[in-house]
Amino acid sequence: MSSSCFTELAQQYIDGEWRPGSGSWDIIDFNPYDDEKLASITIATVDEVDEAYRAAARAQRQWAATNPYARRAVFEKALRLVEEREAEISDAIVAELGGTRLKAAFELHLAKEFLREAVHLALAPAGRIVPSPVDGKENRVYRVPVGVVGVISPFNFPFLLSIKSVAPALALGNAVVLKPHQNTPIVGGSLVAKLFEDAGLPGGLLNVVITDIAEIGDAFIEHPVPKVISFTGSDQVGRHVATVCARQFKRSVLELGGNSALVVLEDADLDYAVDAAVFSRYVHQGQVCMAANRVLVDRSVAEEFTEKFVAKVKGLKTGDPRDPETVIGPVINSSQAEALAGVVEQALAEGATALVRGGRTNNLVEPSVLTDVPAGSALLRQEVFGPVVFLVPFDGEEEAVRLVNDSPYGLSGAVHTGNVERGVRFAQRIDTGMFHVNDGTVHDEPIVPFGGEKASGVGRLNGETMLDAFTTTKWISVQHGRSGFPF
């Protein structure tokens, strides 16, 4: 995507108008690979957050009353525009978040799938007639939009994860205010607004505020207008979002961090398991909530698996994300890069062995493979958002189950075995929202419930669960004839 496009979209989008923020400082948008300045965006203040929510509330009632077939046309057009602009959007993903070409293609493929699902969702809300114990009474249960939804999206898959909440919320008759991550304000924010504006979405229904909590505090989640906050990010921030929402009787949908394990049982196809494990850890530099932080291997096959795994990791190319051969591009910023170096140093200080110890050049962090991490180490229970993996041997299936569950998180995971039903029985014993047999840990599909247990979140997205997230029910009863009253 041309640099001029970053310049053109470096604005707030409120009530159908592109305008600068009124804050006293700018968010500088950098390319994490070469530190090129992509854009400078004057931040939105509390006043603009208020204006965005008020605009959404004004626009929403007419949108909810719009024929759902007419609403559907917007998402059909948005899908066509993504297809037409795929090369541009891919360039923007590579530039703004350091995604590789492979990662950009993966993100765009899923974004298109979720737009296709939004087309169907526009027609999904259906009422019901429910029986009554009272003679002559008709109970109608309507499925209605919640009103206005606040969406906070993360930096790792910003285009996809903004669309994943924004499109269904709009399709179901709501208005939306979107706050992208400050490291990805264009791909996760104004690019999405431009897409829907060009697709014919009426002004005011989607607003984008590019800002920082240093400026607005809790104003985005505390504002009285939104009835639902959809947040994707860390469990620490998610806990705060949930607390504020609960205090105000707001619904929160929280897609939070993970500490997924990929388990290799003794009867697994080891070559296939290696391929799945390497992808599950190192896709998008490991900056994926579902990534396999831990690879657990039955001790009887650990030596052979480890040899093959290390050889494959050593062959991964780290470098310029614009190069189609690059597998591992930069992490999002220098603080992430420093944190990852700290994880490796802490593990080694605790007695771990580095089978591969990757170097660091600015935000480029080469892959590391660590083993012998002490069983009591906090590192095995935290989310590591980068290309560092822990190999953990185990003795038998019971120990594997115990180790996988020994985590505050419960998002995703995978098990590899020659017996599919054994794999399913294993999966049923794991405390996660999602688990995969003979596959990787990183999956998302538009009609399958997506979400986690424990510190990995509350609620589900995708498919029918979007109705639970972004609509509410309303009971209207009709008494045919006369009702009897006791006095």
Tokens of 457: 């979140």
Is the Cβ–Cβ distance between 12 and 208 less than 8 Å? yes
As a dihedral over the C-alpha atoms of residue 223, residue 225, residue 230, residue 232, rounded to 10 degrees, the angle is -30
Which residues neighbour 390 within 8 Å (Cβ) at sequence distance 6 or greater?
A: 293, 294, 295, 347, 352, 370, 371, 373, 379, 380
Q: Confirm whether 51 is a catalytic residue.
A: no
**325 given a catalytic annotation:** no
Given 107, 255, 366, 397, the catalytic residue: 255
CB 194 within 8 A of CB 18: no
As given in the structure block, the two tokens for residue 419 are 């017996």
Alpha-carbon span 195 to 447, nearest angstrom: 23
- Answer for the pair 295, 262: CB distance below 8 angstroms, yes or no: yes
Which one from 48, 107, 215, 289 is the annotated catalytic residue?
Answer: 289
Does residue 335 contact residue 316 with C-beta atoms inside 8 Å?
no
Distance in Å from the first CA to the final CA of the chain: 73
DSSP of 216-267: HTTHHHH-SS-SEEEEES-HHHHHHHHHHHHHTT-EEEEE----EEEEE-TT
Which of 194, 166, 175 has the alpha carbon at shortest distance from 89? 194
Closest to 269 measured CA to CA, from 417, 158, 146: 417
Using the Cα atoms of residue 31, residue 34, residue 40 and residue 43 in order, give the sign of their dihedral: positive
CB 21 within 8 A of CB 211: yes
Q: Is 395 helix (H, G, I), strand (E, B) or coil?
A: coil
- The catalytic residues are 255, 289
